[in-house]
Structure 1
Amino acid sequence: MLQDIRENSQGTIAKIIIGLLIVSLSIWGMDAIIGGFSGEPEVATVNGEDITEREFMRVVQIESQRQLSRMETPDQSLLNEDQIRKDVLESLIRQKVLTQNASEQGLALSDADIDALITQMPQFQVDGVFNRDRFVSSVRNMGMGVAEFRETMRKQYVINQIRTGVVQSGLVVDQNASHLLSIQNQTRDFRTLTLPASMVSDEVEVSEEEVASYYEENSDAFKLPEQVEASYIVLSLEALAETIDVSQEDLQSYYQERAADLAREERQASHILIEDGGDAEEVMKTIQQRLAEGESFSELAEEYSVDTISAEQGGDLGYAGRGVYDPAFEDALFALKEGEVSEPVATSFGLHLIKLTDVRKSEVPPLAELEEKLTRELARSRANERFAEVRTELADLAYAEDNLTVPAEELSLEVRTKEGVTRDGGEPPFDHAGLVRQLFSEDVLEDGYNTELIDVGDNMSVVARVSSYQEARQQPLENVASDIRDILTRQKTREALAQRAEEAVASLRSGEDASALGLGEWTNHADQARTGSSLNPVLMAEVFSLQRPQGETVYGSHLAGDSATIIALDEVNEGEVDADSQEYQQLTRFLSTISGQREYAAYQEYLRNRAEVERP
């Protein structure tokens, strides 16, 4: 048998297979060969096709990292992992049914198509050329194999084809767009009367019985939550820098090292700016050709540049240092030698040709002027080198000791205190959820241990312990009676104003005059739009909610704060609609997109509902 195998391995077919294996391995790595052969546990089966546990866990990890990145202070313990797993699984099921549907429709990418897409992706290129090592490294960093990445691309591409096709099929009736734009651009003519709180102040009284009754009915609102007084140590880069001594010799040496940087360099630039798009590249080539033939940069700037202000000066932008221009413009400018002209540079403003016309450097300021700044820089630099080391020391000491005094003395740090820290947090650094959660943990609150060292910000860490604890308690009535009286007074005032406004509107509708009712004079507001008015937006919403007048003024009222406003709507002015305007075109595209997105969501839901899904 061994002889047969040896003879067959020399055959033509065997050589072809081996050749294909070598090519595959050289391009894609081992994943391309073995990626599809390893059996994996599944988390769900959709219409007979498995969703593997590895795929599921990878997407769970990606979603967890995405949610962490959106937190101001990332904290893994704040993630709802059960909900993440549930959402990810549902997402993968929907992706699977869409992929299957695409296959049924004959939408697919060949291996050659995938290869073409991958080799054209900028993130996998070095100097504009596809680089296999960068590709494999990037894919590995995503937690994927090469074969898995290729399959993911295949799925996403065909799903996007379906999505784009459905969304772009969304339609909108012109009449709908015109009607909506007319309503949006509508203006109204109305008048207002203000009823101040002082108008009803004589009617408002709050008795002791009412205060006591409110206290009993809302007793939970007057409980003080459990709280602690916390002792804590803050280790920050700034605080560490303040403990570092900088000698005069070190400062002098640092000053000499920084001399080149301290001499500010400014560059005088001229530019020719062309609007991007259309024939911009051809125009730029024409300008470059004319420059090469010896024509003046300043004259060409006057002729071509859309920056009309600098064009009048031959494109001159004056002197500027770093941090003034767009990064791409700045990089090109500071790479030029005096008199040189750059290649075209793209920024958000368009395409530039940049010419460096002069360079000037300021004198290095004397050490006396910079002593404070450089001392701070040097101390911070040295503190940065020591921060990780000191942080580890503090973490170890805080774990070993049952107090904060020893760690503070060992590291020359200060023990601080903070009162009134509740489970909802408190003032910094106790606005950090992870630190507060540890402070109220059983180990710290009941057993008297220190918290772990918690990173509450960039280069800032805190360790804390509970100094004293106070249980939740009910505040006595006498301590909150004044607050309750204020609450009830505001409530009764609003009720009285609402009643007065309702009566006034009824009288006005019956034909009585505002002056005769003692309401004062009307304030006129003509041709007011929904937005952009100087009036209260909530009041404007009330104005535009009133029905259209049919020959008679329509009245309404609005209650806000400590006043009520009577509204008299006199006229509704139809909004102008220009079917050729940019506003109309944008609204039409927006409505079409919304319609298409709804159709796509319905299509997804249809496929999901008819799919056979099995879960282990």
Structure 2
Amino acid sequence: MLQDIRDNAQGTIAKIIIAVLIVSLSIWGMDAIVGGFRGEPEVATVNGEDITEREYLRMVQIASQQRLSEMENPDPTLLDEDRIRQEVLESMIQAEVLAQDAGNQGLELTDQGVDQLIVSMPQFQVNGEFSQQNFTSFVRNLGMGVAEFRELLKRDYISNQIRTSVIRGGVAPAEAARQVLAIQGQTRDFSTLTLGATSVADEVEVTDADVEQWYSENQQQFTRPESVDVAWIELSLDTVAETVDVPEQDVRDRYDELVAEESYEERRSAHILVEDGDDAQSRIETIQQQLDDGADFAGLAREFSDDPLSAEQGGDLGYLREGDLGGAYDEAMLALEEGEVSGPVETEYGTHFIKVLDIRTSEPAPFEELAPGIRDQIAQSRAGDEFARQRTDLADMAFSSETLEEPAEQFGLEVKTRNGVTREGNEAPFEHAGLVRQLFSADVLEDGFNTELIDIDQTTAVVARVTEHHPEAPQPLEEVAGQIRERLQREQTLTLLQERADELLGQLRTGEATPEGDDWTVYDDVVRNQSAVPAPIQARVFSLPTPDEDGFSFGTVADGSDLVIIALSDVSDGEVDSESEQVRNMAQFLAQMNGQQEYSAYVRTLREQAEIERP
């Protein structure tokens, strides 16, 4: 047992357990501390064992914190608390069922085993050694004691052993894997004939009475979703920044800082490098003599330089700033004027001859051009504290006000309105799930209160209220008549086309006609998900049975308002090597799927047999 623990603690099981303890709402972690306390109010009873309210609320808190940690910008208003509570309770019930089953099977982990598991977990180690401080901090962050944590770890470990053993028991024969791969790689040859909607357009007739009858029989399909008309005010960092006064001198001071930061000189230099060696000195003297005689620097670099990359470019190193190469090279380069060549310069890389090819300077744009942007940046920076203060004051006032007019006047904000805000699919700012959830809450929708102040993002806060509530209701006929008419026209069109297709299919099956000619489109060796074939046609082609030898399988499919006749002529399975790694991987994948299904069935049976009571 201890050796298994040592092995598993370094691998998948350790990772699963740690993830579960922190965040998971899955069945492996929600048994958290079931059984830790008794004599407290319970939220459910499983086979006589209570899940206490204290246990339940702790797991709800952990789950909520995890959801927030997964958000790029954590926002509690985005949490669906009702859903979290429901998921946590269901997971805790299921985990208790599993823990009881493990106990019934006599599975246990000794205290020594728990100790070994804890000290072996990489999450609690520093430089390969167990850290009591890391362990204690982790347990405290979960809001539980060490004893509770040890009990949780023991139960999760045992439950996971059951899960692992059942899943590993899943099997899948290699032949099944080979067949799946052969089907995945299957190709099909077929031809299509399109019967266009325009060919029966004169026969299609949909009357107003037809539309009205269909509407009356299918009215439930046309409902206007529940919506609210909304008024809101919006406080933003930008609007606060507009009220911030930025003196001209502050703008000039910041511009001067930019000039100091962004003004720089660049020098385009070329060099001839002579690396240290027995003949280095003679080569240096030769290069110097030829330079004195007026030889071309680039030509000498190509001939003599030991830096092959720059030598091809005549020694050109491109533009460099002070400090890019540093040391003696920088010092010599900066001392030269444009077009000048230095004498031998020694560095750690060897001896250089340096030529400055060009000198250019860079500095910010003129003050007049940058001033507006600088002023906005300063205002934004200084507006942060003021925005935070106003946000707090607005939240307090909006909470106590019966309308939005008073806080709007106090903070100089515009009361905006929008009609038809639904539970989803809205434009800003009502794409924010937390704001919408509050709009449809009982306090706001039924009691007429303002929403809380909702941070739409880091620089914008909104308070809203409902001015009118529109329950879900049928859409009137005049709003949907056009779409009903189009639907009925399409149905009539396809019915008429199917009649023509049935007649032609009869001739094809008896041999009176063949799927050939200019009207037919031929497809060869089509694989699944081939983009060149329309999706409806491809789906129908791969659903048709394999044709008899020298025969066809026929079918039809709607493609928009057209109808397509399909003549499938050949099916070829993909070639698969039964001994290949691909087959082994597929067999393993299928075995895991089967194991997961068996485990799901196992858990479902335990759940159905358990006596579960909820107060």
Task: Give the superposition deviation at 1:555.
Answer: 0.8
Q: Is the 8 A contact 1:97 1:607 kept in 2?
A: no
Answer yes or no: is 1:563 the counterpart of 2:562: yes
- The alignment covers a number of residue pairs equal to 491
Alpha-carbon distance change, 242 to 577 in structure 1, aligned in 2, over 3 angstroms: farther
Q: Is the 8 A contact 2:175 2:578 kept in 1?
A: no
Q: What pairs up with 1:277-296 in 2 under 5 angstroms?
A: none
Partner residue, 2:83? 80
* Aligned-partner Cα distance in 2 for 1:515–1:605: 52
Which of 525, 548, 551 is the equivalent residue of 1:550? 548
Partner residue, 1:394? 394
Answer yes or no: is 1:157 the counterpart of 2:157: yes
Task: Give the superposition deviation at 1:101.
Answer: 5.2
Partner residue, 1:167? 167
Q: Is the 8 A contact 2:397 2:407 kept in 1?
A: yes
Q: Is the 8 A contact 1:186 1:529 kept in 2?
A: yes
* Aligned-partner Cα distance in 1 for 2:372–2:589: 57
* Aligned-partner Cα distance in 2 for 1:44–1:228: 37
Q: Is the 8 A contact 1:124 1:132 kept in 2?
A: yes
Partner residue, 2:323? none
Q: Is the 8 A contact 2:187 2:573 kept in 1?
A: yes
Q: 3-state DSSP class of the match of 2:235?
A: strand
Give the letter aligned to residue 547 of structure 1. Answer: P
* Aligned-partner Cα distance in 1 for 2:478–2:453: 42
* Aligned-partner Cα distance in 2 for 1:226–1:182: 50
Q: Deviations over 1:549-583 (max 9, x none)?
A: 11211111111312111111101112201134342
Partner residue, 1:587? 586
Task: Give the superposition deviation at 1:407.
Answer: 2.0
Q: What pairs up with 1:51-130 in 2 under 5 angstroms?
A: 53-65=53-65, 74-76=77-79, 79-80=82-83, 83-100=86-103, 104-105=106-107, 108-111=109-112, 113-125=113-125, 130=130
Select between 249-258 and 565-574 the one with higher mean Cα deviation: 249-258
Give the letter aligned to residue 108 of structure 1. Answer: L
Q: 3-state DSSP class of the match of 1:545?
A: coil
Q: Deviations over 1:103-135 (max 9, x none)?
A: x25x52443x43444345444455665443343
Q: Is the 8 A contact 2:97 2:610 kept in 1?
A: no
Answer yes or no: is 1:498 the counterpart of 2:501: no
Select between 458-467 and 388-397 the one with higher mean Cα deviation: 458-467
Q: Is the 8 A contact 2:99 2:159 kept in 1?
A: no
Q: Is the 8 A contact 1:193 1:522 kept in 2?
A: yes
* Aligned-partner Cα distance in 2 for 1:258–1:94: 67
Partner residue, 1:538? 536
Which of 512, 519, 522 is the equivalent residue of 1:521? 519
Alpha-carbon distance change, 365 to 133 in structure 1, aligned in 2, over 3 angstroms: farther
Alpha-carbon distance change, 223 to 604 in structure 1, aligned in 2, over 3 angstroms: closer
Task: Give the superposition deviation at 1:548.
Answer: 1.0
* Aligned-partner Cα distance in 2 for 1:36–1:478: 62
Q: Is the 8 A contact 1:425 1:432 kept in 2?
A: no
* Aligned-partner Cα distance in 2 for 1:228–1:93: 43
Task: Give the superposition deviation at 1:66.
Answer: 5.0
Select between 184-193 and 448-457 the one with higher mean Cα deviation: 448-457
Q: 3-state DSSP class of the match of 1:156?
A: helix
Q: Deviations over 1:169-223 (max 9, x none)?
A: 3322122112222222111111111122112211111112212323433445566
Q: Deviations over 1:223-256 (max 9, x none)?
A: 6567554321112334434443433433445566
Alpha-carbon distance change, 363 to 108 in structure 1, aligned in 2, over 3 angstroms: farther
Task: Give the superposition deviation at 1:429.
Answer: 1.9
Q: Deviations over 1:461-502 (max 9, x none)?
A: 211234566787776655654443333222322332333333
Q: 3-state DSSP class of the match of 1:513?
A: coil
Q: Deviations over 1:365-393 (max 9, x none)?
A: 45747555544443333333333321111
* Aligned-partner Cα distance in 2 for 1:47–1:401: 51
* Aligned-partner Cα distance in 1 for 2:48–2:478: 70
Partner residue, 2:464? 464
Q: 3-state DSSP class of the match of 1:91?
A: helix
Task: Give the superposition deviation at 1:525.
Answer: 0.8
* Aligned-partner Cα distance in 2 for 1:495–1:457: 53
Q: Is the 8 A contact 1:215 1:484 kept in 2?
A: yes
Task: Give the superposition deviation at 1:257.
Answer: 6.6
Partner residue, 1:270? none
Q: 3-state DSSP class of the match of 2:144?
A: coil
Q: 3-state DSSP class of the match of 2:538?
A: helix
* Aligned-partner Cα distance in 2 for 1:222–1:599: 42
Give the letter aligned to residue 234 of structure 1. Answer: E
RMSD: 4.3
Q: Deviations over 1:486-536 (max 9, x none)?
A: 3322232233233333333233212232689xx962111111112344212
* Aligned-partner Cα distance in 2 for 1:605–1:483: 45
Partner residue, 1:217? 217
* Aligned-partner Cα distance in 2 for 1:383–1:364: 29
Q: 3-state DSSP class of the match of 2:557?
A: strand
Q: Is the 8 A contact 1:40 1:53 kept in 2?
A: no
Q: Is the 8 A contact 1:46 1:97 kept in 2?
A: no
Select between 51-60 and 194-203 the one with higher mean Cα deviation: 51-60
Task: Give the superposition deviation at 1:451.
Answer: 3.3
Q: 3-state DSSP class of the match of 1:564?
A: strand
Q: Where does structure 1 lack aligned partners over 5 or more consecutive residues?
A: 1-34, 265-311, 320-336, 339-356
* Aligned-partner Cα distance in 1 for 2:501–2:133: 76
* Aligned-partner Cα distance in 1 for 2:254–2:139: 43
Q: Deviations over 1:390-440 (max 9, x none)?
A: 111112232344443332232232322213334667432233455345445
Partner residue, 1:487? 487
* Aligned-partner Cα distance in 1 for 2:572–2:473: 59
Q: Is the 8 A contact 1:64 1:79 kept in 2?
A: no
Alpha-carbon distance change, 224 to 182 in structure 1, aligned in 2, over 3 angstroms: closer
TM-score scaled to structure 1, two decimals? 0.67
* Aligned-partner Cα distance in 2 for 1:150–1:477: 65
Alpha-carbon distance change, 233 to 599 in structure 1, aligned in 2, over 3 angstroms: same
Q: Deviations over 1:279-303 (max 9, x none)?
A: xxxxxxxxxxxxxxxxxxxxxxxxx
Max Rg structure: 2
Alpha-carbon distance change, 37 to 87 in structure 1, aligned in 2, over 3 angstroms: closer
Give the letter aligned to residue 512 of structure 2. Answer: E
Q: 3-state DSSP class of the match of 1:566?
A: strand
Give the letter aligned to residue 539 of structure 1. Answer: I
* Aligned-partner Cα distance in 2 for 1:366–1:198: 64
Q: Is the 8 A contact 2:79 2:434 kept in 1?
A: no
Alpha-carbon distance change, 615 to 576 in structure 1, aligned in 2, over 3 angstroms: same
Q: What pairs up with 1:306-455 in 2 under 5 angstroms?
A: 365=364, 368=367, 371=371, 374-422=374-422, 426-436=426-436, 438-439=438-439, 449-455=449-455
* Aligned-partner Cα distance in 2 for 1:75–1:563: 45
Q: Is the 8 A contact 2:46 2:93 kept in 1?
A: no
Select between 574-583 and 35-44 the one with higher mean Cα deviation: 35-44
Partner residue, 1:193? 193
Percent identical = 44
